[in-house]
Amino acid sequence: MTEKQLSATEQLMEQEADSLARAAIGAPKQPRSSLGRRVRSTVSAYGFLLPAIALVITFFIIPGILLIILSFTNLSSANFTEPWEFIGFANFERLFTDPFFPKILRNTVFYVFTTLIFFNLGLALVLALVTTNIPRRRGFFFRLVWLLPRLTPSVVYILMWKRIGSADPFGIYNQFMPEVLGASGGNLFLGGAPWAFVILTNGFVGASFGMIIFTSALMSIPEDLITAAKVDGASTWRIIRDIKLPLIKWPLLFIATYQTLSLLTSFEYILLLTEGGPGLFTTEVWALTAYKRAFSSYFGNSQWAFGATWAIVLVAVALVMAVLYVKIFKFNELVEEPRIENL
């Protein structure tokens, strides 16, 4: 660090320098009380956390509480000039008796687990195993291509998939695939195979996350271990099963947790691709319902309170799952204790 940079932070450090000057003169400074010091240490920790805390309170805590309050009102764009009217559990009753509630629930479970198992976890693992089993540069190249969907703006990304699945004469799939493989000439994402497209679009983005995490875990397995197994005559399959998989157990659990939560609560690609269609609720998942109730104008009315009700139930489910995961996988134990205790 240059002298110039040093002087830029001078003012903030005035106090420190002062106490040091005193120390340099001689006798140790008057000790602070133990309590005083602990308080100071806590205060400075929270000082560093201040920007984060301010944002978390404003955009997580307050909205979280607000979501709960909203779910007990009948607030909508039609009556938002009036004071909030509390209607008890009416929204929750309406939610659970909604004729489409079972369908939405089934859709959500199906969407989350299919995408998770086949793509975000399964394909991710296969990609990581295969790309680390071929020469380095080539593996790197394939992983890089797999990263593209994640870097592409969602609107552009979905645009590409729409063109792949469009009806004749625009659709790419219909142009190149023989009819035996299901090329009907019709629109696929809003007709023939909406779920396939919903899962593919999400899976192609989701898989790269696990792929990267697994790859870095696999690459950190000591080469000696693999060599030793090979010397023992283990086949590639045995090496994967007996050595690689057990050694990447934690990343696997982490991705399973992370992706379950993230699939459960995200809906952006579905919103852009099918908006929950075609028809009534065909590909509508819970998170999307919440969003649509609150922000799309069904019958020209944004039902904020009802949307909030859908959201809060999902948030509750997600939080319970998150806490369970944290407990079951003992993430807490992986947290290292600080090794400096004084200010």
Partner 1 sequence: MGSGKTGRFFSYAFLTLSIVPILVGYTWLVIATVSTRTRGLLPINAEGGIGGLTLGNWSFVFESAIWSAMLNSLLIAVAMVIGVGIASTSGGYALSRFKFPGRKGFLTGTLVLHAFKAEMLLIAIFFVLRWLGEIPLIGPYIGFNSVGGVALVMVALELPLGIWLMKGFFDNISWDMERAAMIDGAGRFRVWWQIMLPQVRPGIAALALFTFIAGWNAYLVPFTFTIGTKVANMPVYLNQLISDTAPVNWNQVAAVGLFQMIPLIIFFIFTQELLLNIYAGGSKGT
Partner 2 sequence: MRVELENLSKAWDGVVGADRITLDIADGEFVAFLGPSGCGKTTTLLMVAGIYKPSGGTIKFDGHVVNEVAPKDRGIGMVFQSYALYPHMTVFGNISYPLRIQKVNKTEIKERVQKVADMMGIGDLLDRKIVQLSGGQQQRVSLGRALVKEPQLLLFDEPLSNLDARLRLTMRGEIKRLQEEMGITAIYVTHDQVEAMTMADRIAVMSGGVLQAYDVPTDLYEHPKTQFVAGFVGNPPMNFFDVEIVAMDGEFRAKSGSIDLALPRDRAEKAAAAGKDKLIMGVRPEDIYLVDDAEPAAPGRTLTAAIEVVEPLGREDLLGVTVNDVEMRVLVDKTKGAAVGDNVDLVFDMSSVQFFDPETEQSVLWT
Ligand X SMILES: Nc1ncnc2c1ncn2[C@@H]1O[C@H](COP(=O)(O)OP(=O)(O)O)[C@@H](O)[C@H]1O
Site for ligand X in 279-338 (CB under 6 A): 337
Q: Which of 117, 111, 113 is nearest to 270 (CA)?
A: 111
Residues 6-25 that bind partner 2 (CB under 8 A): 6, 13, 16-17, 19-24
Indicate the residue among 220 and 342 with the shorter CB distance to partner 2.
342
Query: Is 339 a residue that touches ligand X (CB under 6 A)?
Result: yes
Collapse the DSSP code of 326 into the 3-class scheme (helix H, G, I; strand E, B; otherwise coil) and give the result: helix
| Smallest distance from partner 2 to CB 13, Å | 8
Residues 215-254 that bind partner 1 (CB under 8 A): 215-216, 235-237, 240, 250-251, 254
32 binds, among partner 2, ligand X, partner 1, none (CB under 5 to 8 A by kind): partner 2
Taking a C-beta distance cutoff of 8 angstroms, is the pair 133, 125 a contact? no
How far apart, in whole angstroms, are the C-alpha atoms of residue 322 and residue 328?
A: 10
Q: Which of 273, 78, 257, 90 is nearest to 195 (CA)?
A: 273
How far apart, in whole angstroms, are the C-alpha atoms of residue 276 and residue 39?
A: 53
Query: Is 332 a residue that touches partner 2 (CB under 8 A)?
Result: no
- Given candidates 271, 273, 274, 283, which one binds partner 1 under the rule CB under 8 A? 271
| Smallest distance from ligand X to CB 342, Å | 12
| Smallest distance from ligand X to CB 335, Å | 12
Plot region of 239 (φ>0 → left; ψ -120 to 50 → alpha; else → beta): alpha
How far apart, in whole angstroms, are the C-alpha atoms of residue 231 and residue 239?
A: 11
Taking a C-beta distance cutoff of 8 angstroms, is the pair 72, 86 a contact? yes
| Smallest distance from partner 2 to CB 35, Å | 10
Query: Is 342 a residue that touches partner 2 (CB under 8 A)?
Result: yes
Indicate the residue among 272 and 343 with the shorter CB distance to partner 2.
343
Instruction: Give the residues across from 301 on adjacent strands.
Output: 298
29 binds, among ligand X, partner 2, partner 1, none (CB under 5 to 8 A by kind): partner 2
Three-state SS string over 240-281 comes to HHHHHHHHCHHHHHHHHHHHHHHHHHCCHHHHHHCCCCCCCC
Binding segment toward partner 1, per CB under 8 A, in 26-34, 62-70, 93-101, 186-194: 62-70
Q: List residues binding ligand X (CB under 6 A).
A: 337, 339
